[in-house]
Structure 1
């Protein structure tokens, strides 16, 4: 299913980053389709800091099939998101309780699909960055320790708080939720990163697993 059709039928939350970029890129070239171009842009965005959007712009321009117009559109979209809602900082909020942690994830309480987000914290328990790790279906979302830990190491994070929503409104943890938490906790311990909490939120409240 093409990104535009997926967005129309399932909502924007169902789109991957590559899908979203594909909507901006539009068509590809004779040698690369729009998905291949979008994937290259994604690789650039993963290693770039949003504070250096000029550097991002310069790198995107090097991709064959991307001219100045499309590069401007992509970087402009990033800048709009950064200005209107900066999830990378969460105001450097200090998080010392589960209730404070739950407040960081109010924006996913009423999502139609399960969404997994992760807040990365420094040793003072200040949020360094909050990122959406994965988007699942109406009743499940994948929790992949390798991806989460890899990102934590990139950010030199001391600890992490993960959170996912239950669209059903029941924020009680399932057996699979607890098992996934245990697996992630063991993986974090091996690397020396602290899994501070796993929060489940819904429109009716929240629950801390740890």
Structure 2
């Protein structure tokens, strides 16, 4: 796992400068770099595929978590390469967020004291990409609608319960319903919408049923 991880120059730099402590890992590793390093005989149809990046978190999710010693073999790495080249596995979010086609949008405005803040939310449920722009500031990117909502609530904090209940809650709920309508699969947003609106969780709902 570490061999693959260190094929990213950023990870090599972070590891060498962390003095053995925890360092942030960039999960994006170029397919071409992996093939060259391990001298793999992987069939490549288009040279552009070599510029794609695998998400090394898949190695942990698909292989290490199911092995007693957490072993990851070179064939395991190659399996993730092939799946990524064939678009059956997504590239890392750090790469994907800039390539996504944001074909849905939602615009809303919120009053903050004497100022009015405008938000533009754009997303692609299938590709798992969500972004938001506050006024003319740069976009912020998220991989799920739950993280997106957390960010929105952080941007418009209010201690006024009436404003929150009558203005903020309806906006967030409507945004989530709009996202839900644009999706072709069940995203589990109904529970999240109920939670935002203060609806009690059913007693027979297990933790595994939660959408996050």
Indicate the TM-score class for this superposition, using the shorter chain for normalisation: under 0.3
Provide the TM-score with structure 2 as the length reference. 0.26
Q: Which structure would you say has the larger RCO, counting Cα contacts within 8 Å and 6 or more residues apart?
A: 1
Provide the TM-score with structure 1 as the length reference. 0.26
Larger radius of gyration: 2
